[in-house]
Amino acid sequence: MDSSIASLTSLSSEEPASVFPFFDLPSELRLNILELILVQPDTVDLDPLNYRSIARPLLRLFLTSRRMHEEAYRVFYGSNTFRLFAVHGRFFHTKRPLFMRLPPKYKAAIRTLELRLGPGWTAPPKSWVANPRLGLMEAAALRVLNIFVECDPASDEIFKGFRVAGDFYTIFSRDLVKSIFAQVPTITEVHFDGYPSVAKQSPLIDALLDEAKIQGKKITWGSLKAWADGSAAELTKALASLEIDTETSSPTIDTGLSGNSNSLMQLVAVEA
């Protein structure tokens, strides 16, 4: 009994755990730590899992203090890529995409947006419009627009009979990109990527590429699709070694949709 009381007395008299002086660290080191915590491996979009994968584990950090919030939100919104229009089935037709839901303060910190083209190519959602309500003009730091093409309906006869018109989706996508450029003149780079079924010289890619060049944007190419110069020849050679006729073989078409506390909670979709 006496030993138990002594033990409790000893525990109560111990010094409380010391608080790590995070803000005493050099700013560069603090930035590196925040990037390790906050930078996500995938594009941030409206998703039912956001609460568990992003909001709940990160929200405490945002609410630690005013100073922590100021440093953390600049890293989170400035270092991650955010999808302009949702592609998850639950939010595909939402009238309020993720970007529209963010406060102006967070929109102003975003540097990279992704536009995913292909989902809903027969009838794009009516909300896929770059109008003033979307708030793109508030994205003062936006520099890079990633365009990921899942499919090009004008590129193959396999889409004939399903598409509204041969060039319908090409015109829709070009006009959408053009309106984004008009509202965000700070964009300096357009990064193209797509599924292997989308050719670099497809009508949709050509139209988007022409528009980006007209606007004087820097063009870069992604790694998911072997779009570097010379890759086509290498692919043809590889197929030939497998005795596949590249002139008659039909390409594979993937049209799948895969892929606030007034702070971080603005970007999450609350689970049903």
Q: Walk across the sheet containing 189-194 and list its strands.
A: 81-83, 112-117, 144-149, 189-194, 218-221
- Structural domain contains residue 185: yes
* pLDDT tens profile 59-79: 788 989 999 999 999 999 999
Domain count, the chain: 1
Domain that holds residue 121: 41-223
- The span from the CA of 99 to the CA of 163, in Å, is 29
The rounded percent of the chain whose pLDDT value lies above 90 is: 57
What three-state secondary structure class fits 140?
Answer: coil
- Structural domain contains residue 258: no
- Structural domain contains residue 230: no
- The span from the CA of 252 to the CA of 218, in Å, is 30
* pLDDT tens profile 123-179: 999 999 999 999 999 999 999 999 999 999 888 777 776 656 678 899 999 999 999
Provide the pLDDT confidence category of residue 19 given band limits of 50, 70 and 90. confident
> What is the phi-psi region of residue 2: left when phi exceeds 0, alpha when psi lies from -120 to 50, beta otherwise?
alpha
- The span from the CA of 38 to the CA of 110, in Å, is 14
What is the amino acid identity at position 34?
Answer: L
